[in-house]
Amino acid sequence: MATLQLLDIAKHFGKGVWGVKKLDLEVEDKEFLVLLGPSGCGKTTAMRMIAGLEDVTRGTILLSGRDITDVAPRNRNVSMVFQNYAVWPHMTVYDNIAFSLKLKKMPGAEIKQRVQETADMVKIGGLLGRHPGQLSGGQQQRVAVARALAVKPELFLFDEPLSNLDAKLRVIMRTEMKDIHQKTEATSIFVTHDQSEAMSMADRVVIMKDGGIIQIGTPDDVYSRSTDMFVAGFIGTPPTNFFNVVCSYNDQKIELKHSDFVLPLDSANFAELKEYNGKNLVLGVRAEDIKVVPESKAVFKEKILVIEPQGSHQIVAFNLEGAMYKISVPAEIEMRVGGDIGLDFNMDRLSFFNKETENRILLKSEVSN
């Protein structure tokens, strides 16, 4: 299909307000790339610049090597699916999908075939005679996706297309959209603030903050090897638990000292921490990597504050130094609010962050992987 390159892209709205400060990014052919970040991070502004709906303050946009920075939106060969569907209410489903094909003056028989094939792909083949007012929100969104697919553009852009759907339908639609992508192999960029969508759909995730890129990687990269505390705290439900610790190295032993526990570490596997002797660090541990163990084997013990049943598992919360921590516990383990639990860490899944810079401290084992 296509490749996309963003070279030093920026968008300035005036009066010191930057929608995007600096963006350098390459989207590979057939890739499904997700732009993920909190509101105001610049992800939608970046997408609108790619589509031509926002002027570029600085930088260059290349689509398959062609400079489209100043090309009119209609001439970019890019299709965009919006959050609010943007289907025409006075047209039937058929006419909504066929509209752009008619503008291209395609033969009627070819339009009919293309519309039917596309509608069948998004499972609305039996609704072509209806008007949008006769459709559910999910069906209207399928119309919008079909209309974008029908013109077979070089690049697909999706601006939070599932955010107006109910929770159950969102899960169904993101699975179906991933299936459509696998069938069409279309180069696609998907914008969302929903990390579950990003993690389940993306080939690569681009995490943005304050108009710039913080990390680019596979879903596993950003989850298991978060580049800094922002990413580690943003990705994951519940988010990463952070413990303020002091690193101690003596007699060939490394220990992390917290007010509630002391965690000994193997000096060979965690050798990079030796240089932080006597310094403050942040220990990051995912909710599923803090294990409930018998109190006799526990690194520390706490009282259960809240239990959140999730069906397949339960989220258990406790307080430590005035902050709330959450862990994921198998559903079959009996928990009681106010009860004591013994806790231990999965030593293979620990993350360490520089307390001053909040950047990840890389271990040799992570670099080699």
Tell me the domains of the chain and their CATH numbers.
Answer: 4-234 (3.40.50.300), 241-368 (2.40.50.140)
The packing angle between helices 93-103 and 137-150, to 10°, is 20
pLDDT tens per residue across span 12-71? 998 889 999 999 999 999 999 999 999 999 999 999 999 999 999 999 999 999 999 999
* Tokens, residue 148: 């974008």
Estimate the share of the chain in helix, then strand, then coil, as percent rounded to the nearest 5. Answer: 30, 35, 35
Q: What is the pTM of this model?
A: 0.91
Which residue type, as a one-letter code, is found at position 125?
G
pLDDT for position 368? 52
What 8-state DSSP symbol labels residue 279?
Answer: -
Cα angle for residues 151, 180, 116 (degrees, 5° grid): 50
Q: How far apart are CA 343 and CA 241, in angstroms?
A: 13
pLDDT tens per residue across span 226-238? 999 999 999 999 9
What is the chain's length?
Answer: 369
Task: Enumerate residues 6+ apart whose C-beta is below 8 A from 135.
Answer: 93, 127, 143
Q: Is residue 58 exposed (0-12), middle (13-18) or buried (19+ Cβ within 10 Å)?
A: middle
Residue range 119-123: average pLDDT? 92
Instruction: Name the residue with higher pLDDT: 262 or 85.
Output: 262
pLDDT for position 213? 97
pLDDT for position 366? 73
Task: Evaluate whether 362 touches 350 at the Cβ level (below 8 Å).
Answer: no
Query: Is the pLDDT confidence value at 209 over 60?
Result: yes
Q: H/E element holding 59?
A: strand 58-63
pLDDT for position 83? 83
Task: Evaluate whether 64 touches 153 at the Cβ level (below 8 Å).
Answer: no
pLDDT tens per residue across span 231-285? 999 999 999 999 999 999 987 889 999 999 999 998 888 999 999 999 999 999 9
Which residue type, as a one-letter code, is found at position 290?
I
* Tokens, residue 63: 């689509």
pLDDT tens per residue across span 95-115? 999 998 998 899 999 999 999
